[in-house]
């Protein structure tokens, strides 16, 4: 016998925290309904395709699948089991301290969502009920900054090498932290607005002067040098004209970390609407079951033609996407999947978020692939039974996205110009092993030569 589960969705993207709606999970469905009082307040909804003005009081019904128990916008608040378990472990250890040990599977997912589904990335906060929401929002004390000490650093390090599965020291110091997805262990924290100085606090819950929210990503021993690589490619993206959040690299007890300012908060710490492209695409198409199960051509089409507009300026968004992809080719990042692309709403516009996670994963042999998602029928057979090459596929993609060959050339030349010193910059990295340096240089030189041929 199954019992239906219920929870509420709140947001503090307006002037004060307000309830957005509620949802029920049955054995077969997830059903979400906006509060009628929420519909006309002009605040963002659950997701781009679930705009409150379109949905109204109609209940959204989502058929549960092996990929999504919940609507994609809610599912994304639960760190997936498959992607390492740092965040899950953190919350499960905290639950254990409260004498709660949920069963594996959906029981655990639900418990994690109730404990860590608020105060995280984006504008959506999930709570068990309204009382818990009110209680949580009413705690507007400024979280105390404290200096990361050896103890915390040490237990974190243990945690990361998987020798020690208890997150006790971290939890004692910080309490439960809101959850965040992804493969690399990371924490949501806040730091002085002036920048990283070794002092951290829990994320803000309201406007706090002189404080900014950050994501901290820890370098896993399996990816030596990844922090430096992420910093370098963030810098290159900024130089190539992309909006890039502020970031700082540091060490916590000999463990490299990168702290990146949150793009889903405005300067006053207020949450901005954000949704990953994965969530948008999965909402619109049940065949999208993984963060890579689409292709850039289709994404371009969706941006152009979705009956419910996905972005305010489709032309600009497609240009951004194409340039990001070419930038990822030139820097050796085959990992530009739909969870590494997000939309935000800012100043009444919906657009791609600032750049995050541009890390050139091809530096690590097990991630050495040109692209995690197909583009321009690359590698497929053409009408002469010849596999379509990189150059032809890129031209094809640009065409599918509605760009002339000349526009493609302009983008490619810009990307090549801003990444011209990449090999030298890679050689200057202190922590990326020589072998990975040489591999990345070899791989990207090859790709850049082909890109040059397009000119």
State the residues that interact with ligand ATP by CB under 6 A.
121, 180-184, 215, 245, 260, 262-264, 276, 335, 339-340, 342, 356-357
In Å, how far are 89, 115, 117, 250, 431 from 179, measured between CA atoms? 11, 9, 7, 22, 28
Q: Cβ closer to ligand ATP: 114 or 260?
A: 260
Smallest Cα–Cα separation from 265: which of 218, 208, 201?
208
Q: Cβ closer to Mg ion: 215 or 302?
A: 215
Q: Cβ closer to ligand ATP: 369 or 381?
A: 369
3-state secondary structure of 449: helix
d(CA 258, CA 249): 4
Q: How far is the CB of 121 from ligand ATP (least distance, A)?
A: 5
d(CA 190, CA 196): 9
Instruction: Using alpha carbons only, give the angle 88, 274, 394 rounded to the nearest 5 degrees.
Output: 100
Smallest Cα–Cα separation from 56: which of 44, 38, 29?
38
Segment contacting Mg ion by CB under 5 A, of 147-155, 275-283, 307-315, 334-342 = 334-342
Which residue has the CB atom at the shortest distance from ligand ATP?
Answer: 182
Instruction: Choose which of 219, 230, 264, 357 interacts with Mg ion (CB under 5 A).
Output: 357
HSE-CB for 141 with a 13 A CA cutoff: 7
Cα-Cα-Cα-Cα dihedral sign, residues 66, 283, 25, 127: positive
Residues 181-220 that bind Mg ion (CB under 5 A): 182
d(CA 79, CA 170): 18
The interface partner of residue 181, options being Mg ion, ligand ATP, none and the CB cut-off 5 to 8 Å by kind, is: ligand ATP
Instruction: Choose which of 340, 342, 345, 439 interacts with Mg ion (CB under 5 A).
Output: 340
Segment contacting Mg ion by CB under 5 A, of 50-58, 68-76, 205-213, 337-345 = 337-345
Considering the rule CB under 5 A, would residue 371 count as an interface residue with Mg ion? no
Segment contacting Mg ion by CB under 5 A, of 95-103, 163-171, 332-340, 441-449 = 332-340
The interface partner of residue 215, options being Mg ion, ligand ATP, none and the CB cut-off 5 to 8 Å by kind, is: ligand ATP
Considering the rule CB under 5 A, would residue 228 count as an interface residue with Mg ion? no
Inter-residue contact 324 to 296 (CB < 8 Å): no
Interface ranges with Mg ion (CB under 5 A): 182, 340, 357
């Amino acid at each position: 016998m199954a019992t239906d589960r219920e929870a509420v969705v709140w947001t503090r993207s307006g002037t004060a925290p307000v309830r957005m709606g509620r949802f029920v999970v049955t054995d077969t469905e997830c059903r979400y309904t906006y509060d009628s009082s929420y519909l006309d307040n002009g605040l963002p909804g659950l997701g781009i395709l679930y705009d409150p003005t379109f949905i109204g009081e109609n209940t959204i019904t989502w058929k549960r699948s092996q990929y999504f128990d919940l609507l994609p916008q809610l599912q994304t608040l639960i760190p997936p089991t498959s992607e390492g378990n740092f965040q899950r472990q953190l919350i499960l250890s905290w639950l254990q301290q409260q004498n709660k040990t949920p069963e594996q599977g959906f029981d655990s997912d639900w418990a994690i969502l109730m404990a860590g589904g608020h105060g995280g990335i984006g504008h959506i906060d999930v709570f068990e009920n309204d009382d818990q929401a009110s209680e949580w929002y009413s705690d507007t004390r400024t979280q105390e900054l404290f200096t990361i000490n050896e103890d915390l650093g040490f237990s974190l390090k243990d945690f990361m090498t998987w020798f020690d599965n208890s997150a006790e020291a971290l939890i004692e110091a910080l309490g439960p932290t809101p959850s965040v997805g992804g493969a690399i262990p990371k924490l949501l924290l806040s730091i002085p607005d002036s920048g990283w100085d070794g002092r951290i606090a829990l994320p803000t819950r309201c406007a706090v002067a002189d404080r900014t929210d950050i994501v901290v990503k820890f370098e896993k021993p399996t990816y030596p040098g990844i922090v430096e690589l992420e910093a370098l490619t963030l810098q290159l993206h900024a130089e190539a004209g992309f909006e890039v959040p502020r970031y700082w690299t540091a060490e916590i007890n000999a463990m490299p970390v990168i702290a990146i300012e949150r793009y889903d908060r405005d300067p006053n710490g207020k949450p901005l609407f954000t949704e990953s492209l994965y969530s948008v695409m999965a909402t619109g198409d049940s065949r999208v079951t993984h963060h890579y199960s689409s292709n850039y051509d289709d994404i371009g089409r969706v941006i152009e033609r979705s009956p419910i507009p996905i972005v305010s300026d489709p032309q600009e968004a497609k240009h951004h996407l194409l340039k990001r992809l070419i930038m990822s080719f030139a820097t050796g990042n085959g990992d530009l999947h739909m969870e590494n692309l997000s939309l935000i709403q800012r100043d009444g516009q919906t657009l791609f978020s600032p750049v995050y996670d541009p890390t050139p994963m091809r530096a690590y042999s097990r991630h050495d692939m040109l692209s995690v998602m197909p583009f321009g029928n690359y590698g497929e057979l053409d009408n002469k039974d010849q596999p379509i090459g990189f150059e032809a596929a890129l031209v094809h993609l640009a065409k599918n996205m509605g760009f002339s060959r000349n526009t493609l050339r302009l983008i490619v030349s810009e990307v090549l110009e801003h990444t011209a010193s990449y090999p030298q910059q890679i050689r200057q990295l202190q922590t990326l092993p020589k072998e990975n340096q040489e591999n990345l240089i070899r791989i990207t030189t090859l790709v850049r030569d082909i890109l040059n041929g397009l000119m």
